[in-house]
A and B are shown apart, each in its own frame.
Chain A
């Protein structure tokens, strides 16, 4: 997919609450029509970033541009009602005294209403049959749809979604996620999704920013982030790799799991994702299975070497491993980072 029109550009945003710096250096480029993800654990500053973009809070420093117009910096602060940015709140914030139809119509102008925009949106979000119900009388998934419909109705330039699926059960979340993505793509709506769920970020977004401690660590496509994380922290935030310490000389690093090629010399961390290690039963193998946890769609095998170091491998559940089985391994891909310590 090619995006060529920059819609939001945020530069060096900072925000502190009292002594605590929540955002330290936040940068972001959002292209029109894309789904942009901000991935981070709670406390990483992701919700604050969203609130700055929406205009509910003012950054301490830095600037936000929309279509090359500054909407927020030291001197300007366009109020939220003038930004044309839609928002889906984590708790949905549906107005309890208005029914579904009135909630969705809330942000529509008289002209919009004349053009039947309301029914169009209700229809698009499959809400027509619930339109006379009140928010407290419909299910969580339906409430989520109403929140989305309400935000989409006035045709915002960008729509912000704050942890949109966390309050739903896993199955519902997955179903709704697919629905939302196809709706956003259909309507060519630009969206920014804040989430702590790596699977969600990787599967839904065109571009993902990994936010840690108020700083953007890496911004790239999901594939790039997963396969070429710039740091061990980023690698950890999108997977659970085996990390092995090593020291590289002449472009080669010796580790407990074998010798690998390295782009640089010195102390480094070798990161190997569990799915990149293939384990086979082998009576002459030099590793011993410690534990095998069965997940249904796959299984995770913990095994140790003669020195007692434990590693993890993820594989299809076709072979059954028992603790004590001897195994040999084959590694398909490794990543190396300069050591943190």
Chain B
């Protein structure tokens, strides 16, 4: 089918605008005033790289371990209350890493809540959780739900005939998991593990509150001290490079393209556990739920109540609430609008060009927010000074990283619009516009809204881009949480964190569980 000119032009325009930050980075990389090697000599590049990569491996490993173990427990074993346990185990994903870090930092500081509670035992000071250990714990607790969601849905759809065959060949019930089940889950494990990995290397909130030096933290430090030269570009480029490698490997093990058995998979009967084993499983699940959900919420509540009883002014957080809402509404509205031509091109005019555009959009999703923020910052300073530190530039930066969510929502619903519907409509005498109004739009608007809602929530929780690009006087809830927390003002931080969670938790949970366990 021939692509209408208007559609093609609007797609190319959107695409080139959205690729600008990447092109700008590449251009800067080739025009450094000094040799490339000198970067590696003069700064602590190796140290930062080592810190970032070791965090990557540590968190990916622990998240996969916890996520996979819970998947097997809840899907294959006969555990009563498995549904509610599943929900509780996936809930930590609604907690942004900086809120999680805030609760851990404040609870386990040398003289923090933990010490106060256990002071009757004579405990007066502990070492405190921060640095590598703190970041590792926090990032694991708030990312393993991605592994759990993806692996448990894959496990549910895994046909059990092969396992039965293995058992008839004499492999025992528990070795089945290491010899048959886990190897067959290789793709979802790699896919979800790398999703976690992408999250880890891009994370800024948790590592900065834990004072652990990674590439993202270094970038922000340069920004804070207004050292806006080559180094910050170099680190941002390095970050993008790492992210692209990870998302490239991740995409190649895309679960949605994995071969599936036709028909309804045969589901094995749930395995009965012995009493001791059951106790072990419950203890494990309860421990995870305690640290991932109960502890952070309790700590937050503690600070909230303490703040109120101390008479902290609640009005201090109003600015952030208003800012978050304004930015999120603007971004999600524009994301829906901009995603429409892309969705139509990608799903209605299948061609080499449209699949190329689809791939580019998917790649945008993996871009570290901080690096995109840096690029936009430079572009506004050097090329478009008129929009430097403007609300407009901030929204553009959000759009670049969140557009894929809107496109995904639209695309999923566009798949329902079969070509024959459009043909049937024109065969019944309706014009193209009339067909769009009566057939296409009614079929896709829910998907577009769902995509828009996801963009809304993501924008609301976004931290690093907002820190870099916010106009003077602009605040968001995320910025409030982070800046109060990094100054140790936990009661103030808890206010904003609580409002943010109250607004975003339930919709985030619904939308992400729906998207990830498809």
Contact = CB atoms under 8 A, between A and B. Distances in A.
Interface of A: 54-56, 79-87, 89, 91, 93, 95-97, 106-107, 150-151, 154
- The residue among B416, B423, B427, B443 with the most chain A CB atoms within 10 A of its own CB is B427
A86 B428 contact: yes
A81 B420 contact: no
A154 B421 contact: no
B442 A80 contact: no
A97 B416 CA distance: 10
Given A91-B418, A93-B420, A95-B421, A81 B443 contact: no
B424 A96 contact: no
B420 A89 contact: yes
A217 to B, nearest CB: 28
Contact of A97 (B420, B428, B443): B443
Nearest to B423: A56
A142 B157 CA distance: 33
A151 B424 CA distance: 9
Contacts of B439: 95
Interface in B398-433: 416, 418, 420-421, 423-431
A174 B438 CA distance: 34
A87 B424 contact: yes
A19 B311 CA distance: 79
Contact of B442 (A82, A83, A97): A97
Contacts of A89: 420, 423-424
B425 A87 contact: no
A85 B416 contact: no
Contacts of B425: 95, 106
Contacts of A83: 427
Nearest to B443: A97
Given A81-B431, A97-B442, A91 B426 contact: no
B233 to A, nearest CB: 47
- Overall SS of chain B's interface: helix
B415 to A, nearest CB: 12
Given A56-B426, A80-B427, A96-B443, 13 more contacts: A81-B426, A81-B429, A82-B429, A87-B423, A87-B424, A89-B420, A89-B424, A91-B418, A97-B443, A106-B425, A107-B427, A150-B424, A154-B428
B428 A150 contact: yes
A91 to B, nearest CB: 6
A86 B426 CA distance: 10
A93 B428 contact: no
B416 to A, nearest CB: 7
Contact of B429 (A84, A96, A97): A84
Contacts of B427: 54-56, 80-81, 83, 85-87, 107, 151
Contact of B420 (A79, A85, A91, A107): A91
Contacts, number: 58
Contact of B423 (A80, A82, A96, A107): A80
B430 A81 contact: yes
A41 B418 CA distance: 25
Nearest to B425: A106
Contacts of A85: 427
A80 B420 CA distance: 13
Interface in B418-476: 418, 420-421, 423-431, 438-439, 442-443
13 contacts: A54-B427, A55-B426, A79-B426, A84-B429, A86-B427, A87-B423, A93-B420, A93-B424, A95-B439, A106-B428, A106-B430, A107-B427, A151-B427
Contacts of A96: 416, 443
B429 A154 contact: yes
A234 to B, nearest CB: 31
User: Which 7 pairs of residues, A with B, have the shortest CB-CB distance?
Assistant: A107-B428, A93-B420, A93-B424, A80-B426, A87-B427, A81-B426, A81-B429
Contacts of B429: 81-82, 84, 107, 154
B361 to A, nearest CB: 27
A80 B423 CA distance: 8
B192 to A, nearest CB: 32
A252 to B, nearest CB: 55
A84 B418 CA distance: 22
B473 to A, nearest CB: 45
A93 B426 contact: no
A86 B425 CA distance: 10
A55 B431 CA distance: 13
Given A81-B431, A84-B429, A93 B416 contact: no
A129 to B, nearest CB: 24
Contacts of B418: 91, 93
A8 B425 CA distance: 22
Nearest to B429: A81
A87 B422 CA distance: 12
A226 B427 CA distance: 34
A150 B420 CA distance: 14
Contacts of B430: 81, 106-107
A146 B70 CA distance: 49
Contacts of A81: 426-431
A153 to B, nearest CB: 8
A93 B431 contact: no
A81 B423 CA distance: 9
A95 B435 CA distance: 11
A91 B442 CA distance: 20
A84 B423 CA distance: 13
Contacts of A106: 425, 428, 430, 438
Contacts of A86: 427-428
Contacts of A80: 423, 426-427
A93 B443 contact: no
A97 to B, nearest CB: 5
A106 B439 CA distance: 10
A81 B430 CA distance: 6
A43 B119 CA distance: 83
A12 to B, nearest CB: 24
A327 B428 CA distance: 60
A151 B429 CA distance: 11
Contacts of B423: 54, 56, 80, 87, 89, 93
Contacts of A79: 426
- The residue among A83, A85, A91, A107 with the most chain B CB atoms within 10 A of its own CB is A107
A279 B416 CA distance: 57
A96 B442 CA distance: 10
Contacts of B431: 81
A252 B427 CA distance: 55
B50 to A, nearest CB: 54
Nearest to A79: B426
A91 B419 CA distance: 11
Nearest to B435: A81
A95 B443 CA distance: 9
A59 B442 CA distance: 32
A79 B424 CA distance: 13
A89 B424 CA distance: 8
Nearest to B434: A81
A107 B427 CA distance: 9
- The residue among B421, B424, B439 with the most chain A CB atoms within 10 A of its own CB is B424
A267 to B, nearest CB: 48
A97 B426 CA distance: 17
Nearest to B446: A97
